[in-house]
């Protein structure tokens, strides 16, 4: 009998997670916010079982009750930090709306047809916590913490919202924001009593679209922050300077004993590595630098814009996307100080190196990625944020986004586009939609943390 993990409280270790059954369905954020179509954003359920007649098709659409949420990131109520707690199930997805600050609690007990369990209104969150613009969702044992990018008026730095196991607002998680200027992503490593957070910008800055001058005016981040996890307060800041303009996604090794972690600096198109040395001091270094590329229609060379990174469950490979260039890269980070490029594929982008993939014109560039637990299948979507999409890829209004799949060689490295899998969100029933983050019912490489 196949091991049932979808409603379990997580895995005992990363190696156990890698042995889990292959994903058969996945959930993907789909949005109409910012497209001109006055329809609700929705959670798309997609069949990704190659043996199914519905392979590569949207089999269910769960519409949100309102219009204009801008669904973006999401996370499970439980992960491997809950391992051993038999009364907790990995059953509920917390699906925030960045623009409305509404939190949609989605019940995935029926994996193929999830339903709304509860809604926490953005107005209630603002009233109780003075926070808005939810982004990253992490489980913390039986509790849930969510990075909030702004205050109730959309100004930085925001803070962290805490929910209990019944999805009731506890309040703000942090005891202090210190001198932190902006918020975005975060990841914690409890055995080192450390949390790392990164910086985007104030909601009032990034929501209207991107203005390069605002980077020079220090309205976008260039720092990452180390927190005392137990005291819930920042203790050290790494100023990354020109090497770390707009540091977004942060990832620790999955190995809970490791202190190594990584962040992708979007505008600098660099990967920054941090770790704790033998004397207990935290250090950082730049380990990957993506060169800007000339373009005949741009007055300056185009930066890669590293919009996302993730690590395979065994911490062997680091993956990231260059949203404007159009490539997805795989690096062997067995030695985290000396990464080796082992795979690269092209999907859309502004450089014109892969306008057609699997017979489909790709509008946008590779943006969000999710890796299977065994590390062999990488799913990729093409929308970053509605106003940024419209600015850099205006044709996405008519063409919509796509979900693609890459098969990964976990032994020797290497990547290859799966020619049999493509979900075209440009042909959705209500018109062209865009797709963003992806999750699996059984957990994935960007949600599980071990205590």
pLDDT along the chain (451 residues), means of 10: 44 92 96 97 98 97 98 93 78 97 98 98 98 96 94 98 97 98 97 98 98 97 98 98 98 98 98 97 98 94 98 98 98 98 96 86 95 98 98 96 97 96 97 97 89 87
Q: What is the 3-state secondary structure (H, E, C) of 260-321?
A: CEEEEECCCCEEEEEEECCCCCEEEEEEEECCCECCCCCCCCECCCEEEEEECCCCCEEEEE
Nearest one of 442, 428, 320 to 378, comparing CA atoms = 320
Q: What is the pLDDT of residue 9?
A: 66
Sheet holding 327-332, edge to edge: 306-311, 317-322, 327-332, 340-346
What global pTM score does this model have?
A: 0.96
Q: Measured between alpha carbons, how far is 297 from 320 in angstroms, rounded to an integer?
A: 25
CATH of 14-439, one of 3.40.50.1580, 1.10.3720.10, 2.130.10.10, 3.30.70.1170: 2.130.10.10
Sheet holding 186-189, edge to edge: 186-189, 194-197, 223-228, 233-239
Q: Measured between alpha carbons, how far is 401 from 224 in angstroms, rounded to an integer?
A: 31
* Joined tokens for residue 294: 């000339």
Q: Measured between alpha carbons, how far is 203 from 199 in angstroms, rounded to an integer?
A: 12
């Amino acid at each position: 009998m196949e091991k049932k993990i979808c409603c379990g409280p997580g895995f005992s270790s990363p190696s156990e997670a890698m042995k889990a059954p292959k994903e058969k369905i996945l959930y993907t954020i789909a949005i109409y916010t910012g497209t001109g179509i006055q329809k609700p954003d929705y959670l798309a359920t997609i069949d990704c079982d190659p043996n199914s007649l519905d392979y590569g098709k949207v089999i269910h659409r769960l519409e949100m009750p309102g219009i204009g949420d801008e669904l973006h990131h999401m996370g499970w109520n439980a992960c491997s930090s809950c391992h051993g707690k038999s009364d907790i199930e990995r059953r509920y997805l917390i699906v925030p709306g960045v623009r409305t600050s509404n939190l949609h609690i989605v019940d995935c007990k029926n994996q193929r047809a999830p339903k709304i369990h509860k809604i926490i209104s953005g107005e209630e969150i603002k009233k109780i916590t003075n926070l808005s613009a939810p982004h990253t969702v992490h489980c913390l044992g039986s509790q849930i913490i969510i990075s909030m990018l702004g205050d109730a008026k959309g100004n930085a730095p925001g803070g962290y919202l805490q929910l209990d196991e019944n999805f009731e607002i506890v309040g703000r998680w942090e005891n202090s924001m210190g001198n932190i200027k902006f918020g975005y992503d975060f990841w914690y490593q409890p055995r080192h009593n450390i949390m790392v957070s990164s910086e985007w910008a104030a909601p009032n800055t990034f929501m209207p679209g991107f203005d390069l001058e605002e980077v020079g005016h220090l309205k976008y981040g260039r720092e990452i922050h180390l927190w005392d996890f137990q005291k819930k307060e920042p203790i050290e800041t790494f100023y990354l300077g020109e090497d770390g303009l707009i540091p977004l996604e942060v990832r620790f090794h999955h190995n809970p004993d490791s202190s190594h972690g990584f962040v992708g600096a979007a505008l600098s198109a660099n990967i920054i590595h941090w770790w704790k040395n033998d004397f207990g001091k935290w250090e950082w270094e730049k380990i990957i630098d993506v060169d800007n590329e000339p373009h005949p229609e741009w007055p300056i060379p185009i930066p890669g814009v590293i919009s996302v990174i993730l690590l395979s469950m065994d911490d062997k490979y680091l993956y990231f996307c260059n949203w404007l260039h159009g490539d997805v890269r795989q690096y062997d980070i067995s030695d985290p100080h000396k990464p080796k490029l082992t795979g690269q594929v092209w999907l859309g982008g502004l450089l014109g190196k892969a306008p057609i993939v699997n017979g489909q014109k790709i509008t946008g560039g590779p943006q969000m990625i999710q890796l299977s637990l065994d590390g062999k299948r990488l799913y990729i979507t093409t929308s970053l944020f509605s106003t940024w999409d419209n600015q850099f890829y205006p044709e996405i209004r008519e063409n919509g986004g796509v979900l693609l799949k890459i098969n990964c060689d976990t032994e020797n490295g290497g990547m290859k586009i799966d020619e049999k899998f493509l979900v075209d969100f440009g042909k959705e029933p209500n018109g062209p939609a865009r797709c963003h983050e992806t999750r699996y019912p059984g957990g994935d490489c960007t949600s599980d943390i071990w205590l």
